[in-house]
Amino acid sequence: MLRFAARRLAVAVPLLFVVATLSFFLVQLVPGSPAAAILGLNSTKQQVSALEHTLGLDRPVLTQYGDWLGRALRGDLGRSYVNGQSVSDALGQALPPTLSLALLSTLVTLVLGVVLGMAAAVRGGRTDRTVQWAGSLGMAIPNFWLAALLVFVFALKVSVFPATGYAELSTAGFGPWILHLVLPVIALSVANLGQIAFQARAAVQDALGRDFVRTLHSTGVPRRRILYKHVLRNAATPVATVTGLTFIFTLGGVVVLELIFGLPGMGNLMLRSVQTHDFSIVQAGVLYFSLVVLLVNLVVDLATAALDPRVRVR
């Protein structure tokens, strides 16, 4: 297992370097100057040039890249062009809401998806048709439309949940934290639920048709034990892979929902930074997202290898 993990890390590190390099140079292609965006429309060319010199933006691009990469390798991501705040501090404040939303949504999707998929595969008939219909409907509903509907009904009309905002778990406690995340989690989970349910259904159906399951039935092993001990274990590998992809897609879909629910997360921060040409935040944000994606892929690979030892020799 250690050699397998080392091989995966050997692939992940160069990939992270490539993503960091691409993010830096692609940001340079964005029209407009951060200095001009900071100073506003009434600024003069002399003022813009002076600020660019102060920020080091008048140096050759390769020089800027070498300086940025060297500092990034030391853990120094620089400071915001707009307000001078440490980039690490800005991302550290924005990351918890985004990760809380993505992790909770993925957990809810995984649990409900496996339960529904397993019920559809085992019971069949009306249950199977209902799960397939509901899953297809959920995948067809845009999450931003569902988010707006949830806010209108459960925050404005019924006033059960807060419409916007975020409560820190460490300061406000579990109750306010979870209340602010219920509606965003539902809006994110509905679209992904069908994917997990369909994958779990197909995997369980495939496992139920295997020879070892028929052998266990013939030897008198209880059906419940067969399902939970043997069938679920064999169905877990494809479900784990899809769950990792679901988490990654969820990270990409939080931007709009953070705007709707007023969450101070990475999506909100990245959007503001793009609008204000705060490229230091944008570059570091892309680097953080890439690191999270690579870590998730590594965890999924290790989980898959633990569930199916054949994966380790591929």
Q: What is the pTM of this model?
A: 0.83
Would residue 307 count as lying in a domain?
no
Number of domains composing the chain: 1
Answer whether residue 87 is part of any domain: no
In a domain, 67, yes or no: no
User: What's the pLDDT at 1?
Assistant: 66
Residue 298 lies in a domain: no
pLDDT tens per residue, range 166-213: 888 888 888 889 999 999 999 989 988 888 999 888 888 888 877 787
Residue 59: what pLDDT? Answer: 83
Cα–Cα dist 230/211, whole Å: 12
34 in any annotated domain? no
Task: Assess if residue 6 is contained within a domain.
Answer: no
Which whole number is the average pLDDT over 278-300?
Answer: 86
Mean pLDDT of all residues in the chain? 84
pLDDT for residue 182: 92
Chain segment 82-119, per-residue pLDDT in tens: 788 888 888 888 888 998 898 999 999 999 998 998 88
Output 43 or 60, whichever has higher pLDDT: 60
Asked whether residue 119 is assigned to any structural domain, the reply reads: yes
Can you give the CATH number for the domain in which 106 is found?
Answer: 1.10.3720.10
Report if residue 46 sits inside a domain. no
| Domain limits for position 111 | 96-266
